[in-house]
Amino acid sequence: HGATELDEFGTEVLPRRTPAPAWLPTAKGEEGDFCLRSSDCAAGLCCARHFWSKICKPVLREGQVCTRHRRKGTHGLEIFQRCQCAEGLACRLQREHGPADTSRLHTCQRH
């Protein structure tokens, strides 16, 4: 007949809840922290490859060098990925002022 367990004071003992595992992150990752996806990182950061792992890196600001991907899927081949340009910016070929406009450098520029 459904006997309940009683503690030393005669009250019913409730099963203990196990706490959340210690390895679960409680806050968003800061710059340099390991991540799996950009949602693991704090605002202004993205999750990008660094050697053979992924870390939180800063989203690119205006004037910073960015990577333009000509073919779909080439982003996964980089050992050192960069984040995308911040909102309102696009990765465009940098315009050199002069006759020898041979620069292949792309920077984040306003639309």
pLDDT number for residue 77: 67
Contact predicate 34/53, CB 8 Å: yes
pLDDT number for residue 111: 81
Does 28-58 carry CATH code 3.30.200.20?
Answer: no
Domain edges within the chain:
28-58, 61-70+87-110
Token couple for 51: 């050697």
Q: Tell me: the pLDDT tens digits for 59-87?
A: 999 999 998 876 665 555 678 999 999 99
pLDDT number for residue 37: 94
Residue numbers in the chain where pLDDT is lower than 50: none
* Pick from 104, 30, 34: nearest CA to 67: 104
Distance of CA 20 to the CA centre of its chain: 23
* Pick from 26, 25, 35: nearest CA to 56: 35
d(CA 100, CA 81): 29
pLDDT number for residue 10: 60
pLDDT number for residue 39: 95
